[in-house]
Every structure is written in C-alpha cells, then in structure tokens.
A and B are shown apart, each in its own frame.
Chain A
Amino acid sequence: MSASTDLARRHHWRWWEALPWLLALGAFFAFPNYLAFGTQVLITILFALSLDLVLGYAGIVTLGHAAFFGAGAYTVGMLALHLGWSEPLSGLLAAALVAGAIGLASGLVLLRTHGLALLMLTLCTMALLEQAANMGAHWTGGFDGMPGLSFGKILGVFGFDVLYYRSQYLYSLAALFLCFLIVRKLVYSSFGQSLTGIRENLLRMHAVGAPVRWRQVIAYTVSAALAGVAGALFTQANGYVNLAVLSLERSAGVMIVLILGGYGRLYGAFVGAIAYMVLEHLLAKAYPTAWQLGLGITLIAVALFARNGVIGMFDALRRRFAGGAR
C-alpha cells in the first residue's frame, strides 16, 4: 500500500511540505526588491486555498468567490476609514467574521441548488455585493473605492503601510500559514473526508446518512471567512480598496489559478498562484501589449494536457513510475 492512499498515515507531515515555507522565507532574503509582488502572491495563494476547500474538496462550483474576498477587503477598509479602527490583526478577524457571516447566509440559500443554478446564484451573490458597494458610496466610496487608507502597526511595533514591504510580506506569510494549518486540519479530518465524499458522489453520501447540506454550508462558511482574510490582507497591503475586489475577473482569476495548480490537492493553490503570477509578470514585461495571449495559450495547454493541473501532472508521473516498479 502506498503512502498516498493509506488513510492512517495520510495526515502525517511529509518532508517536502516544509518546502513552500522555506522557499517563502528564502525569497524574503533573496528578492528584497520583489517583496511587494511577493505579498500579492501570498494573498492570491490564500484566496486560492480558500477556493480549494469548496471547489476542490466539497465540489461546490462557484464563480462568485470574490464576494467574500471583497467583503473582507471592504470590511477593513470601512473600519479604518469610518471608525478609525486600523489595527491590522483585529481587522483580519473582523473581515473573517463578516465574510463568514455572508458565506453562511448565502450558503444556506444557494446550496439548496446544484450545477448551473448554483453557479448562477454564486455569481448573483457577488453581483449584489458589487452593486451594494457601488451604490453605498457614502460608506464604500462607490465607484472610486477608498484610496489612501492607512493602517496601524502590527502588534503596535512593526510599521505597516505601503512602504513597509518587509513587514507586509512576513505578516501576510504568517496569516497564510495559520490559515493553511486550519485548512490542512480540516481536509484531513473526518469532516474533510466527508466533503470529498460529497464531491465524489452526492447520491451515495445521502445514502450513508450524511447531512450533506450542512456539511457544505459549514465548508462554504469557513472558506468564505478565509477568503475574507485574503481580501483584508489585500486592502491592508495596498492601502486602498475598490470595486475590482468584487469583480468576476477576480473570481475567474482565482479559479484559473487553482485549476492551473491542481484543485483538491492543498498545494495546488501555491503552485498555481506562483505559476500564474510569475507568468503574468514575465509576459507583461516581454509583451506589454499582448501578454494575455501567452497566458491564454498556457491555460489551453493545461486544460488539454494536464487536466489536474501542475501537481496532478506530477501525481500522474509518480503513479506511472510506482506502477512500473511494482
């Protein structure tokens, strides 16, 4: 029995799981000029990780995940602007609570549906929030958003605004790590196993007596809260928030990231976010006018030849290799 399929050992930490974190810390020293970019990558990883929980594990297809990213982003923005509540850590918590509450409320309604209806309703949720942010200009800044936000020091010590790349990077990395621990704990628990059961066969899951909808609602809520944290980090790191955080482009983008890396695999979010953003960065430099063409071609190639993303490709190779050795 191979280690990858033996349930009793699957949740054990493997040596290579230290790699992403070591690389992230290494990047901190190796690329001091790219830390702002690095922070954006970390935020995207967290956002993609939250999507993986619902899309990759629970099999909930959503095109509206930016609703929760945006909810978190606007929460810290509005708190800072209107209440002067600029302490970053409690801001993250508040964002998680607000986004989680929206996830719970919308999840209770729309997880009654499946397939295309569900897809449409997730889009609608996002569109409603986007319009609310657009029309509630007094609170949200409307179309222009809220520029020039400033946030307090982390733990009252580490300066934290657009100019402090180093503390931003480490702060985002720490937040990502904590959120990752939560997701990892969840997906390897019995709860996580039942989510994969729901993804794999809904009919059978009902027939083993699982409260399917509740499980989905819980997963959706947790995922929404984590996406909210990602959104809050985005606002805190950039010092502004606008309607783009609630856009279809952001929803679709994170889905592409996850598909590129491989969904339902925990580390797909990492690989996908880095691959996507580095590719975007390099292509934009090389072909400032037509960089999206290169991205599109890459995605078509992934869809055609690596259905399960980059990590899935490695998995398939490993299986073939292991199969040949047997």
Chain B
Amino acid sequence: MTTPMLETRGLCKNFGALEVARDVNFRLERGARHALIGPNGAGKTTFVNLLTGVLPPSRGSVLLEGEDVTALAQARRVKRGIARTFQINQLFRGLSVQENVCIAVSERLGVGGAMLRAAGRRADVLAESARLIDMLKLGGDAGRRIVELPYGRQRLVEIAIALGLNPRVLLLDEPAAGIPSAESHILLDAIATLPKDIAVLIIEHDMDLVFRFADRITVLVSGAVLAEGTPAEIAANPEVRTVYLGSALDG
C-alpha cells in the first residue's frame, strides 16, 4: 500500500466526558476526492480542526505523507501544505478581495513579513492573486471590501485564499453552504482545475454535490467512523441509510 497523503491513527478527542473523536483511523490518498459526511454534531468540523492543528488530540496521531505532524502548530502545518476553508467565513472583512487573497499568497511565498517593499510592488504576489480571483470569477469584485459582498461571493473568497496557499491537502468545510445553487458550479469547476495530485477532503451536506464530487466517502457518526467506501458502496450500505442517508436517497 502506498503512503497516504494524510492519515490519522487512533485519533481521539475528548472535551471532558464528551468524546468528539473516537479512535478515528482515516486515510486520505494522494489525489483523492474524498467526502466526509455525517449528521449534525457528528464531529466533522472537530476532525478538520484536529487535522489542521487548531485542536490538539487527546490521543493518536496525524501523519502527512507518513511524517508525524501531531506536535506541529497550525501555521507550521500550513507551510507543509495543509490548507482549509471554514464552515463560517473567516475573512479579512474590512479588506478588499484582492488584499484577502494577496495576504494568503504572500505567506505562501514567504514574503508576508517583508518590510522594505510595498505590498503593491510584489508582482509575483499580485499576478498569482489575480489568477485565483479570475479562476473563481471574482474579477469584478477584486477591489471591493468583503463586507460589501453577498455571502455566496464571500464563500468563493474563502476558496481563493485556501488555493492561494498552494496546498497538497485541501480541507473544505461545507464550501457550498450559503452559495446559491446556480453558483456552486463555480466552486466545482475551481476544484476540477486543481492539480490531480492534490488531495481534497470535503465536508458537505448537499448530497448532490457530494456524489458528483467524491470518489470516496467516509461517514462519521458520534465521532466514530461508521462506514467508508466508494459512493456506490455508501449509498448501498443499509447502516448508513438508516442512520443518515435514508430519506435523502429514497427521495
């Protein structure tokens, strides 16, 4: 078996007596298009927070390409190639779309702390940001501040920032939430243009989107993995149907 891009071994997290991750063994393969689904409160976002280092696990480890990164802080993991988007927008609300993306690109190129050159003279940063902004069809809003944009457009900025980090692993926490369904194809198109070896993990409630996107699905219930398999296997799994998918698939 090849080394997975991202792997967890026996990952556990307790908040006091509440177990939000129970012995999760999870593999995200290179180039995977993987979906993580589960009912509300299943611990999906907590799992992402454990992967990115926002939360330290109670037990277990996180491995990036076979290397243990459990002890690394969030910023260090980002440098190693783990990028994420947030379920609720986490943007620089008072700044323009362009600046939002530039901040991410500057950090990735390692010039985020440079003091001597004006940010506006970083041709490489500006070009890369412009490319991402175009890719997400945000060109018309590049100079507008985040607070002036409708929520759906803001979601796309979330994605642009994550892509600006040039990730090897991209974790998308409900990226389509709040995007009008007419615009969700922009999101899927953007993901489709990513290099094939980037591993993408998506958390999503929109089953249409999940089944269009994913080649592998993991079902999380009460912090534990209930099932994992191809979309067809998951759709056919009776346990999954009763716990979670039932009505959505019958309908």
Binding site for B on A (CB under 8 A): 1-2, 5-12, 185-186, 188-194, 196-197, 200-201, 203-212, 214-215, 218
Question: Which residues of B lie under 8 Å from residue A212 when comparing CB positions?
Answer: 75
B93-136: which have CB < 8 Å to A? 93-96, 98-99, 102-104, 106-108, 111-122, 125-126
Contacts of A8 in B (CB 8 A): 120-121, 126
Q: Pick the residue among A2, A188, A201, A210 that contacts B75 (CB under 8 A).
A: A210
Complex CA–CA separation, A9 to B126 (angstroms): 12
Chain B residues with a Cβ closer than 8 Å to the other chain, count:
46
Do A193 and B90 have beta carbons less than 8 Å apart? no
Judge if B187 is at the interface, Cβ distance under 8 Å: no
16 contacts between A and B (CB under 8 A): A5-B144, A7-B96, A190-B113, A190-B119, A194-B103, A194-B107, A196-B99, A197-B92, A197-B103, A201-B91, A207-B86, A208-B103, A208-B104, A208-B107, A210-B112, A211-B113
Residues of chain B contacted by A2 (CB below 8 angstroms) = 143
Partner of B93, one of A192, A200, A206, A210: A200
Q: A196-B95, A200-B94, A218-B113 provided; 6 other pairs, C-beta below 8 A?
A: A188-B119, A188-B120, A190-B119, A191-B114, A197-B92, A207-B86
Chain A hits for B142, CB < 8 A: 1
Distance A191 CA – B92 CA, assembled complex (angstroms): 15
Query: In this assembly, does B33 line the interface, its C-beta being within 8 Å of a C-beta of chain A?
Result: no
Contact of A186 among B86, B106, B115 (CB under 8 A): B115
| Closest CB pairs A-B (n = 7) | A209-B78, A11-B118, A1-B143, A200-B92, A5-B143, A204-B90, A8-B120
Q: Find out whether the CB atom of A196 lies under 8 angstroms from the CB atom of B120.
A: no
B145 within 8 A of A: yes
B→A interface (CB under 8 Å): 52, 54, 74-76, 78-79, 83-84, 86, 90-96, 98-99, 102-104, 106-108, 111-122, 125-126, 142-145, 161, 164-165
Contact: B96 with A5, CB < 8 Å? Answer: yes
B106 touches A190 (CB 8 A): yes
Q: How far is the CA of A109 from the CA of B73 in the complex (A)?
A: 19
Asked if residues A194 and B112 are in contact (CB atoms below 8 Å), the reply is yes
- Give the nearest-CB partner of A186 in chain B: B115
- Which residue from chain A places its CB closest to the CB of B77 in the assembled complex? A209
User: Contact: A11 with B121, CB < 8 Å?
Assistant: yes
- Closest A residue to B90 by beta carbon equals A204
A207 to B106, CA, bound (A): 13
Residues of A within 8 A of B84 (CB): 207
A208–B96 contact, CB under 8 A?
no
Residues of chain A within 8 A (CB-CB) of B93 are: 200-201
| Of B75, B93, B94, most A-chain CB atoms within 10 Å | B75
Residues of B within 8 A of A211 (CB): 75, 113
Question: Residues of A contacting B75 with CB < 8 Å?
Answer: 206, 209-212
Q: Which of B74, B115, B116 contacts A207 (CB 8 A)?
A: B74
Residues of B close to A203: CB separation below 8 A: 86, 90
Q: How far is the CB of B90 from chain A (nearest CB, A)?
A: 4
B92 in complex: contacting residue of A188, A201, A218, CB < 8 Å: A201
Question: Which of A193, A209, A214 makes the CB contact (< 8 A) with B108?
Answer: A209
Given A204-B161, A208-B78: A191 and B95 within 8 A (CB)? Answer: no
Which residues from B are CB-within-8-Å of A205? Answer: 103
User: Could you tell me the distance between the alpha carbons of A185 and B118 in the complex, rounded to whole angstroms?
Assistant: 7
Q: Is the CB of A7 within 8 A of B120?
A: yes
Q: A194-B112, A201-B91, A208-B165 are in contact. Are A189 and B96 (CB under 8 A)?
A: no
Chain A residues in 8 Å Cβ range of B79: 209
Q: A311 CB to closest chain B CB, in angstroms?
A: 15
